[in-house]
């Protein structure tokens, strides 16, 4: 940053704006006192214990994980073949198909949520888990298509042609060459999808039910009733989980490689 004082100052300011609020939350989570205040009074793990013993949080955490895992798997199962069809296939109106699968990025989630509420929960009498699963899968599809698409676009088509020339059928080529080439892309798409589903509020809020409620919705609900350090402790636990995922991603693939694809 030498010789670029303005850029350096802005970067530092940016980090401060992003990190300081998080530090407030994390530090208050370790308080020994009863109030969500800063600076925290003493240090203890008491609120972590309380958060993990609080049944609504634990139940909601399991629901969120369940929903995130299944919707990520569904989004990948649908998204990867779509990506292949868009990039390698000879289908008419490719850009239309691509646009269709990326459209959830621009349609307001509240509209999607309301539509699913009307059709699936009211119309078809399905549970809110089914409605949420459909909603989240649709929400995650653009990420699956874009991120795997970016990694497929970087792969040399001649590699697949070489496999064909050496005697591999199209199916064999897919499993022994294309899929291994796409593995990093699929992995990062999965990671991104998981985090997106786990953090989602609008859809999860609209499609919740007494039986099935995700963690962010439950926490939102809790904050409206009571304001104590347990919410900070729960947030800190989620943060820790995210950091672990980020470290795994960085160790296996490198962050730039994973998230580079989306910015293009």
Partner 1 sequence: MTSAAEFTGVTQAYGDTVAVDNLNLQIEEGKLTTLLGPSGCGKTTTLRMLAGYITPSAGTITINGADATRLPPEKRNLGMVFQSYALFPHLTVADNVGFGLKLRKVPATKRRELVMANLDLVGLAHLADRKPKALSGGQQQRVALARAIAISPSLLLLDEPLSNLDARLRVQMRSEIRRIQGETGLTVVLVTHDQEEALEMSDTMVVMRAGKVMQTGAPATVFTTPANRFVADFLGYENFLTQSDGSLLTVRPEHLRVTAAGVEPATTGLTVSAVVRESVYRGVDHIVTMTAADASGTPITLVSTTRRDTLTADAGFQPGDLVTAQARDHEIVRLTSDN
Q: Measured on CA atoms in the order 39, 45, 46, 47, is the torsion positive or negative?
A: positive
User: Applying CB under 8 A, does 169 fall inside the site for partner 1?
Assistant: yes
User: Applying CB under 8 A, does 171 fall inside the site for partner 1?
Assistant: no
Which of 96, 167, 256, 264 touches partner 1 by CB under 8 A?
167
Q: Which two tokens stand for residue 193?
A: 């999808």
Structural contact between residues 230 and 242, judged by C-beta atoms closer than 8 angstroms? no
Rounded Cα distance between 227 and 162, Å, is 62
Biggest CA-to-CA distance, the chain: 70
User: Applying CB under 8 A, does 192 fall inside the site for partner 1?
Assistant: no
Min dist CB 189 to partner 1, Å, is 18
Min dist CB 88 to partner 1, Å, is 13
Which of 32, 122, 124, 172 touches partner 1 by CB under 8 A?
172
Task: Look at the chain and count its residues.
Answer: 264
User: Applying CB under 8 A, does 153 fall inside the site for partner 1?
Assistant: no
Rounded Cα distance between 251 and 184, Å, is 12
Question: Of the listed pieces 139-147, 168-176, 204-212, 228-236, which binds partner 1 according to CB under 8 A?
Answer: 168-176
Q: Tell me the HSE value of 182 on the side-chain side, using a 13 A CA sphere.
A: 28
End-to-end alpha carbon distance in the chain: 26
Which of 162, 201, 244, 247 touches partner 1 by CB under 8 A?
162
User: Applying CB under 8 A, does 106 fall inside the site for partner 1?
Assistant: no
Min dist CB 161 to partner 1, Å, is 6
User: Applying CB under 8 A, does 92 fall inside the site for partner 1?
Assistant: no
Q: Which residues of 183-213 are buried (b: 16+ CB within 10 A; e: fewer)?
A: ebbbbbbbbbbbbbbbebebbbbbbbeeebb
User: Applying CB under 8 A, does 154 fall inside the site for partner 1?
Assistant: no
User: Applying CB under 8 A, does 168 fall inside the site for partner 1?
Assistant: yes
Please, which residue, 155 or 239, has the CB nearer to partner 1? 155
Binding-site ranges for partner 1 (CB under 8 A):
156, 158-159, 161-169, 172, 177, 180-181, 183
């Amino acid at each position: 940053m030498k010789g670029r004082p303005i850029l350096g100052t802005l970067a530092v300011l940016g980090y401060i704006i992003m990190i300081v609020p998080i530090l407030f939350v994390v530090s208050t989570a370790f308080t020994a006192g009863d109030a969500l205040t800063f600076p925290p009074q003493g240090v203890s793990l008491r609120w972590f214990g309380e958060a993990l013993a609080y049944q609504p949080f634990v139940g909601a955490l399991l629901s969120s994980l369940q929903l995130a895992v299944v919707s990520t798997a569904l989004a990948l199962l649908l998204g990867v073949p779509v990506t292949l069809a868009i990039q390698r296939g000879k289908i008419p109106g490719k850009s239309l198909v691509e646009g269709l699968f990326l459209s959830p990025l621009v349609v307001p989630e509240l509209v999607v949520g309301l539509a699913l509420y009307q059709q699936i929960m009211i119309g078809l009498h399905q549970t809110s888990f089914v409605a949420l699963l459909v909603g989240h899968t649709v929400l995650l599809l653009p990420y699956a298509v874009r991120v795997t698409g970016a990694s497929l676009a970087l792969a040399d088509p001649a590699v697949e042609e070489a496999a064909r020339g050496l005697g591999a059928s199209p199916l064999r080529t897919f499993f022994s060459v294309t899929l291994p080439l796409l593995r990093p892309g699929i992995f990062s798409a999965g990671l991104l999808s998981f985090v997106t589903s786990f953090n989602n509020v609008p859809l999860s809020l609209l499609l919740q039910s007494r039986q099935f409620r995700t963690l962010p919705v439950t926490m939102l609900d809790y904050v409206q009733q009571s304001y104590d350090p347990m919410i900070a402790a729960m947030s800190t636990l989620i943060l820790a989980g995210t950091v672990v995922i980020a470290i795994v991603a960085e160790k296996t693939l490198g962050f730039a490689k994973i998230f580079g694809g989306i910015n293009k």
